[in-house]
Structure formats: structure tokens, C-alpha cells
């Protein structure tokens, strides 16, 4: 159980007194960088594995901290960031994806807010994974627009 709780709080980042989700996402950037440098099949597999491990960690943590989305549980933000950063290999792009992801996670455009309302790990994790997918779409959409207009 100790391992799952440690994973749920992303090895202490969830105990940050200021914006633990943002702190955990920042702490996950080096992992995102390494996964971006790996072959894409490995990166996708690793992100899927992280999401599955996060689901279990959230399940265990909610038994300890209560059924709500406790602010100490930040492995969902880590998982969402890894989805958002999948395939990115440069620090500048990773940081931009981080900013986009945090905006998506905070603003929660439709249907992210609806997913967040689901009970248990599905709601806690689902909204962040969806925010990561939205970030991917926004990032690559903006990048293609910039290329199209030679910016």
C-alpha cells in the first residue's frame, strides 16, 4: 500500500503547499523528455502503463484520503502531462505543452468537466488524460498553423 500512496502523491510533490498539481506536472517533465527521446512505440506503451498504474494508485489513495479528489493525489496530473507531451523531444516544446496542459486542466473545456464528475479513479484520472489529449490536439494544431503561415 505504501508504494501506491507514494505514487499517488508523486513521491512527495502532492504535499506541496502551493499548487501541488502544477508542481507534480513540473516534476514529470524530465520523464516526459526521456519518453520523447525513446521510440514512439515505447513512449506510448510507457504512458499507457503510467495511466494504468495511476488508476490503481488513485484507487488506493482514495481509500486512505477519502473518496474525493484530494489535492495530495497528483499522479493524475502526471499522467495527463505525459499524454500531453507524448512524442515531444525539445524542452521548449515540452514547456509549451506543460502550459497548454495546465490551462486545459484548469479551464476544463467540454467534456472534461463532465468526465471529472465521474466518481472514483475514473473521474480523478479521466479528466486529466482527456486534458492531455486536448493539449496534443491544440499543440499540433498550433504548430501546423505556424508552419502554414511560416511563423
| Per-residue pLDDT tens over the stretch 97-146 | 999 999 999 999 899 989 888 888 999 999 999 999 999 999 999 988 98
Q: In total, how many domains does the chain have?
A: 1
- Helices of type H across the chain: 2-8, 20-37, 40-65, 75-85, 91-107, 112-116, 121-148
With a cut of 90, say whether residue 150 has pLDDT above it. Answer: no
Q: Which domain holds residue 54?
A: 2-148
CB atoms within 10 A of CB 147: 9
pTM score of the predicted model: 0.93
Amino acid at each position: 500500500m505504501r508504494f501506491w500512496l507514494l505514487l499517488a502523491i508523486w513521491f512527495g510533490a502532492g504535499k506541496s503547499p502551493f499548487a501541488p498539481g502544477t508542481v507534480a506536472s513540473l516534476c514529470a517533465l524530465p520523464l516526459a523528455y526521456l519518453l520523447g527521446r525513446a521510440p514512439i512505440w515505447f513512449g506510448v506503451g510507457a504512458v499507457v502503463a503510467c495511466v494504468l498504474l495511476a488508476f490503481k494508485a488513485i484507487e488506493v489513495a482514495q481509500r486512505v484520503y477519502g473518496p474525493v479528489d484530494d489535492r495530495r493525489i497528483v499522479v493524475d496530473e502526471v499522467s495527463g502531462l505525459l499524454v500531453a507531451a507524448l512524442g515531444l523531444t525539445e524542452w521548449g516544446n515540452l514547456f509549451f505543452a506543460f502550459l497548454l496542459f495546465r490551462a486545459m486542466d484548469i479551464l476544463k473545456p467540454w467534456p472534461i468537466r463532465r468526465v471529472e464528475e465521474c466518481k472514483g479513479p475514473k473521474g480523478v484520472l479521466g479528466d486529466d488524460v482527456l486534458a492531455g489529449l486536448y493539449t496534443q490536439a491544440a499543440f499540433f494544431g498550433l504548430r501546423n498553423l505556424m508552419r502554414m503561415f511560416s511563423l
